[in-house]
Structure 1
Amino acid sequence: MSAAASATRVELRHGARRVLLAPEVGGAIAAFDETRDGRSIDWLRPATPAALAARDPLGMASFPLLPYCNRIRDARFMFEGAIIDLSGDGNAFPHALHGNAWRLPWRVEEVSASRARLHLLHEPSREAAHHWPFAYEATQDIALDAHTLTVTMSARNLSDRPMPFGMGHHPYYPRTRNTRVHARVDAMWHCSPDLLPTHAGPHPCVDAMASREGLSADAFDLDNNFAGWSHTATIAWPDERRAITLHADSPFDHMVVYAPASHPDLLCVEPVSNVADWVNLNVDRALKGGAVLKAGESVIATFAWTTRIE
């Protein structure tokens, strides 16, 4: 069944589980929850009515990152002998951040009771306010079942020239004093004061995430990329006897953890395809991620959240 392109909310259901989509807010997931014994359980931090009314992607439960993830230093980089300048794209941050897909409305292409497809078409001539000098299209196929919320992202370079590219998703999880993060990574990317990566190396949080107890969300002030991610991470609330596990396919070969000390209510564990500022980092591609899509080339990848209540 086709959905109207003007639809502002899409609700998916499977039994007691619900996903609310806000296509007009950067193709975002606004909520993922379920009802148990008369109470609502939030698996992702839900968008507030105010955030929905303001169409604020940063207030959503999760939003897509396209055509790059994280920051690009000074909103510029060199590509194929030319400077790509993103300083006029309307981004309010000092460095270009997260691409432009999260700040553009997506169109609902298909929807059923527990599935939806969202589509975005970016043409530079039409989207000067969200400048990216390459045409591309992207889709999100979102499916809900009894245990898992699955998101399959795809993108295609519509330009007549190669395009640098990265993608990911930016989920926020409920953060409490007892929230724990479990993951196996090889190293953490250390950052400059303005949160641009400098080098990958050891950090106590790497061992903490791999431990039986996991990493307390309050243990460190984190806004960092991680290298050598095993493609699985679990966010647990042991006092609530529940957990959600993120599984991601390649090219989501990198992970970001955002657990700022200044905002003790925020926690993000993100599947991404590239380290921040990868287009300016002079390191091996395998370490920094990212890709170059040829004219007409496509990429597709899936990640999923599986929930558990004991």
Structure 2
Amino acid sequence: MRDVSRSPARPPAAQPATRSAAQLAWLDDPEIAARLVTLSAGALRAVLAPELGGALAAFYEVTPEGPVHWLRPAFREAFEARDPLRMASFPLLPYCNRIRDARFEFDGATIDLAGNDPRFAHALHGNAWRHPWRVGARSGNAVDLHFEHNPDASVTGDWPFRYRARQRIELRDRALHITLSAQNLAGRPMPFGMGHHPYYPRTAATRIHADVQAMWHADADVLPTHVGPHPAVDALRAGMSPDAFDLDNNFSNWSRVATIAWPDEHRSLTMRAQAPFDHMVVFAPANDPQLCVEPVTNTTDCFNTVGVRDQVGGCVLEPGEQIEAALSWTPHRE
């Protein structure tokens, strides 16, 4: 029996070429380009779409043969639909992945997030990706993006805690660095988790390398049932093909280093994360071109899931408390 069914929450995307200038044609559209922020450092480029959930639209390298895409670039349709789910990556706050039935109990009250998006039966990825982010300090190779959430009681399913978040996005040392931070602005404790949601080019030769300890098995709604062994754990340590399993699963207690490799193209991308990004999601559905390896601070449905803290993750931010942690993606070419 397989561990999960294909998630209905993540729309299929066309297979992206790993080296294609056509994927970036939207950069030549003045209307789209005017709303983007492009960072450069040497041959590396990172294109941000602040208005679309503070998302990353592309991360690539300029070469004489054309751009080499290190993340799956956005398609023009993503901009036309204003859909962060079709971007190269986007931030996840104030929780990652799903909350069962869009509700949970916290501090003696029921937090009801139902009704804010009829596409999904379960609350998905928090709310920061659904709103524009403001551009702050900016240079040629770095930018700060800011988001502040003020609860609105008239909005069905709105996150009921006030908070602010920041992304510091920078190209340096031949790598992409993203520092995520958040502060609880509410006058009461706030449950919290965060992460980023990168999509990678997926080919027949792609391999994922990561040292993980266990996998959260999931039900048909891609919600966790129990943590334990699975052949994917050993496969990831050896270098797993995205086609090996039908996955949309959390892995606990990883080493906070993962490498996505394209050995036939003689290149790889190493992702590193600081604590508390102690959990990793692999989304590699069968018969689908999508591939995500996501650094997150909490497992799916962490506010409802019963288990030891280091397996479930997430935290509670006290009033005024802040949290900050960094991620990086370093390309390697032979």
The TM-score normalised by the length of structure 1 is: 0.95
Structure 1 distance, partners of 2:221, 2:51, is 30
What pairs with 1:55-204 in structure 2 (closer than 5 Å)?
A: 55-90=82-117, 92-125=119-152, 128=155, 131-204=158-231
Among candidates 219, 225, 229, match of residue 250 of structure 2: 225
Over aligned residues, Cα RMSD in angstroms? Answer: 1.3
Structure 2 distance, partners of 1:255, 1:115, is 26
Contact in 2 for aligned 1:89/1:131 (Cα 8 Å): yes
**Counterpart of 1:304?**
328
1:137 deviates by 0.3
- Structure in which a larger fraction of residues adopt strand: 1
Structure 1 distance, partners of 2:162, 2:156, is 14
Structure 1 distance, partners of 2:38, 2:153, is 29
Structure 2 distance, partners of 1:44, 1:130, is 32
AA aligned to 2:318 is K
Unpaired runs of at least 5, structure 1: 1-6
What pairs with 1:219-258 in structure 2 (closer than 5 Å)?
A: 219-258=244-283
Q: 1:243 to 1:102 in 2, by over 3 A?
A: same
- After TM superposition, the structure 1 stretch with the greater mean CA deviation from structure 2, 200-209 or 128-137, is 128-137
1:64 deviates by 0.2
Q: How many pairs were matched up?
A: 301
Per-residue Cα deviation, 1:6-26 (whole angstroms, up to 9, x for no partner): x62100011221100000110
Structure 1 distance, partners of 2:328, 2:228, is 28
Q: 1:127 to 1:62 in 2, by over 3 A?
A: farther
1:37 deviates by 2.6
Contact in 2 for aligned 1:123/1:136 (Cα 8 Å): yes
Among candidates 286, 302, 323, match of residue 278 of structure 1: 302
Structure 2 distance, partners of 1:164, 1:245, is 30
Contact in 2 for aligned 1:189/1:224 (Cα 8 Å): yes
Among candidates 294, 300, 307, match of residue 318 of structure 2: 294
**Structure 1 segments of 4+ aligned residues over 2 angstroms from their partners:** 88-92, 125-130
Structure 2 distance, partners of 1:279, 1:241, is 41
1:193 deviates by 1.0
Contact in 2 for aligned 1:89/1:132 (Cα 8 Å): no
Residue 22 in structure 1 maps to residue 49 in structure 2: yes
1:129 deviates by 5.8
The TM-score normalised by the length of structure 2 is: 0.88
AA aligned to 2:262 is W
Q: 1:107 to 1:127 in 2, by over 3 A?
A: farther
Q: 1:63 to 1:177 in 2, by over 3 A?
A: same
Unpaired runs of at least 5, structure 2: 1-33
Per-residue Cα deviation, 1:209-263 (whole angstroms, up to 9, x for no partner): 111xx10011110000001100000000000000000000011000000000141
Give 3-state SS (helix, strand or coil) of 2:235's partner: helix
**Counterpart of 1:260?**
285
Per-residue Cα deviation, 1:17-46 (whole angstroms, up to 9, x for no partner): 110000011000000001123321000000
Give 3-state SS (helix, strand or coil) of 1:215's partner: coil
